[in-house]
Amino acid sequence: MTGTVQLRGGDPLFSGALDVAGRQVTVVGGSAEALGRISALLEVGARVVVVAPEVATSILDLSQRGLLVWHPRTLLAADVEAAALVIAATGSAESDAEVRVAAVGANRLVLGATAPETEAASERVEARPPTSATDGHPTTGPSARGLTSGSGDGVGHGVGTVVLVGGGPGDPGLLTVAGRDAIRTADVIVCDRLAPLATLQHARPGAEIIDVGKIPRGEFTPQERINALLVEHALRGRRVVRFKGGDNFVFGRGGEEWQACAAAGIPVEVIPGVTSAVAAPALAGIPLTHRALTQGFTVVSGHLPPGDPGSTLDWGALARTNTTLVIMMGVATLAAITTELVRQGLPPDTPAATVADAGMASMRSVRGTVSTIAALTASADLRPPAITVVGAVAGFQPDPSPIRR
């Protein structure tokens, strides 16, 4: 990955690249429209400073995780002077113009909130590619894009569609081609903080971006409100993309969103994503299955600790499955979970690993045993998003000797 951001001016003959790795980029404005630029800058190693009285939830999350600096105020001259590049992303044409004047006056380069290549990318993709070869209406059965639902009543009479797009573990390169095309053709994108937000740079001009990120034990948009947003915009005849990290149907509430849309007569298209349950261990060099070590894996949510009245998991059975155990959303409850697994008979020296920020430049991991992994995770200050793997594969080391067949 290079540390450059691509530049393009109004003259099609002008193009260039600015090396921003390790250098400050000041983003003025904190709306959801700035998420694509900010995420792309973080990926290439820029030191991002956001200046805005208020910011979208996903930008707040990045700040709280120490991935960028947020100054909750108006722009100062020092913010511009310290920057190698300034991004005007206030959401107001008049305010953006003022930012540009300040940047030019300080001899700093300045760009807008969206990538300059967006328009060219949009021109290469049909505005609304039909999913039916007969009438251009969304299909009601399986297709190359995935499964769609809904009676289709009203399609062509003002009813749009909702596309559930799984974004993978965070790296835009792990987003599917179908998912990327859905982003490029959407009228409205309803996104979460864990989606590969750099992809939002490729949204078509005029697309509305709505941030409904949920910060663990912090700011969040209620699921009922998210469902309502999808229905509201689709009923206006818009193509709505619900953009999430991982896969919408693996602890992603995609099923609930589908039901809400179907109840309103809105066709739904599903584009699966690479779930972090599989991708995070793989990116950390941990195969969930290995024929010399285990014959399966089990994925569970750890958001509720053992003994919680709301938990339906049988931790004793999980301790005895002899499969790899993948614990998602379990950072806060990890000590309770691992203690219960050992109490239920899992050997305390069973290998374990925690992987945080999988697929991102900030990815980190620790390895230990089921009896030590909670303390190791805490001492390394690993925070959500993170998964923990418990089982022999967590101690996997590549062996150069051939495996006999």
Residue 244 lies in a domain: yes
Residue 404 lies in a domain: no
SS3 366: strand
- Are 301 and 218 in the same domain? no
Query: Which CATH number fits the domain that encloses residue 89?
Result: 3.40.50.720
Domain termination residue (choose one: 251, 274, 297) = 274
Residue 289 lies in a domain: yes
Distances (CA, A) of 340 to 89, 305, 347, 370: 48, 9, 11, 10
| Neighbouring C-alpha atoms within 13 Å toward the C-beta of 245 | 27
pLDDT band of 6, cuts 50, 70, 90: low
Residue 122 lies in a domain: no
What would the mean pLDDT of 130-158 be, rounded to a whole number? 42
Is the confidence at residue 140, as pLDDT, over 50?
no
- Are 167 and 231 in the same domain? yes
- pLDDT of 127 reads 37
Distance CA(191)–CA(44), nearest Å, equals 22
> Percentage of the chain surpassing pLDDT 70?
84
- pLDDT of 204 reads 92
SS3 276: helix
* pLDDT tens-digit readout, 27-67: 999 989 899 999 999 988 999 999 999 999 999 999 998 99
What would the mean pLDDT of 387-397 be, rounded to a whole number? 94
- Are 65 and 78 in the same domain? yes
Distance CA(184)–CA(116), nearest Å, equals 14
Catalytic annotation present for 329: yes
- Are 238 and 289 in the same domain? no
- pLDDT of 124 reads 39
Domain termination residue (choose one: 216, 249, 274) = 274
Domain termination residue (choose one: 257, 274, 291) = 274
Distance CA(394)–CA(349), nearest Å, equals 11
> Residue 289: which domain range?
277-395
* pLDDT tens-digit readout, 247-294: 999 999 999 999 999 999 999 999 999 999 999 999 999 999 999 899
What would the mean pLDDT of 169-173 be, rounded to a whole number? 91
Catalytic annotation present for 214: yes
- Are 314 and 354 in the same domain? yes
Q: What is the mean pLDDT of the chain?
A: 86
- In the set 171, 181, 187, 192, the catalytic residue is 192
Residue 129 lies in a domain: no
- Are 148 and 258 in the same domain? yes
> Percentage of the chain surpassing pLDDT 90?
73
What would the mean pLDDT of 327-350 be, rounded to a whole number? 97
- pLDDT of 8 reads 52
Is the confidence at residue 402, as pLDDT, over 80?
no
- In the set 96, 181, 214, 357, the catalytic residue is 214
- Are 58 and 8 in the same domain? yes
* pLDDT tens-digit readout, 196-226: 999 998 999 899 999 998 887 777 889 999 9
Query: Closest Cα to residue 43, out of 92, 13, 1?
Result: 1
What would the mean pLDDT of 344-369 be, rounded to a whole number? 95
Number of domains the chain contains: 3
pLDDT band of 400, cuts 50, 70, 90: low
What would the mean pLDDT of 288-302 be, rounded to a whole number? 94
pLDDT band of 150, cuts 50, 70, 90: very low
pLDDT band of 362, cuts 50, 70, 90: confident
* pLDDT tens-digit readout, 65-115: 899 999 999 999 999 999 999 999 998 999 999 999 999 999 999 998 765
- Are 268 and 246 in the same domain? yes
Residue 23 lies in a domain: yes
Query: Which CATH number fits the domain that encloses residue 160?
Result: 3.40.1010.10
- Are 298 and 225 in the same domain? no
Query: Which CATH number fits the domain that encloses residue 317?
Result: 3.30.950.10
Catalytic annotation present for 244: no
- Are 144 and 267 in the same domain? yes
Geometric angle at alpha carbon 277, from 275 and 278, rounded to 5° = 80
Distance CA(203)–CA(214), nearest Å, equals 22
- Are 390 and 270 in the same domain? no
- pLDDT of 261 reads 97
- pLDDT of 403 reads 44
Distance CA(29)–CA(257), nearest Å, equals 30
- Are 220 and 255 in the same domain? yes
pTM, full prediction:
0.81
Residue 16 lies in a domain: yes
Tokens for 364, please give them. Answer: 């980190």
At 24, the amino acid letter reads: Q
Residue 402 lies in a domain: no
